[in-house]
Amino acid sequence: MAESLANWFVDVFREKISEEWIIFIISLFPILELRGGLIAAGLLGVPWAKAFAICFVGNMLPVPFILLFIRKIFEVMKRSKAFEKIVIKMEKKAEKNGEKVKKYELLGLFILVAIPLPGTGAWTGALVAALMDIRLKKSIPAIALGVIVAGLIVSALMYGIVGSIIGR
């Protein structure tokens, strides 16, 4: 799914904005995050170190805002019938992931973010940390390290294995 969304972004914006802006914007979005940005960067031929730095910043930028404001945002959204079900679904997902995080605390938060699978990542980690009341001083480093590890895993695939197949 992330690959097809990343491809869509590349196709739509390739002629309109720079490759760097494309991968930065992709990295900001939930679901895509750094992983989608790195996939797009590999497809666009952006050098790895540059792509990794841009995608990391793009993925981490929303994290403090999620940690600080998501509870208030959810309260407001729950007042609307249109958003109430979405918020409840997100809270349940965070609760489910939160049980794993509670067991291992910050290591659990790190692992939740580090494993590049659907439903994991910085957005989910920040949501879980916010709903579990994990302080910013502790959650941001755990999330950042998780993003780095996820990025290294995706980089190995995109710039290593896949890159060698598609000639990058």
As a whole number, mean pLDDT of residues 116-125 equals: 89
Does residue 129 share a domain with residue 155?
A: no
- What is the pLDDT, as a whole number, of residue 141? 97
In this structure, the number of other CB atoms found within 10 A of the CB of residue 133 comes to: 8
Distance CA 34, CA 113 (A): 11
Does residue 123 share a domain with residue 100?
A: yes
Q: Look up the pTM and report it.
A: 0.85
Distance CA 157, CA 81 (A): 42
Q: Is 118 helix (H, G, I), strand (E, B) or coil?
A: coil
- Is the CA virtual torsion 75, 77, 79, 83 positive or negative? negative
Statement: residue 160 has pLDDT above 90: no
Domain range enclosing 69: 63-148
Distance CA 68, CA 132 (A): 12
Does residue 40 share a domain with residue 112?
A: no
pLDDT digits (tens, 9 = 90+) for 81-111: 889 988 898 888 777 777 777 778 889 999 9
Structurally, the chain folds into a number of domains equal to: 2
- What is the pLDDT, as a whole number, of residue 166? 53
Does residue 86 share a domain with residue 139?
A: yes
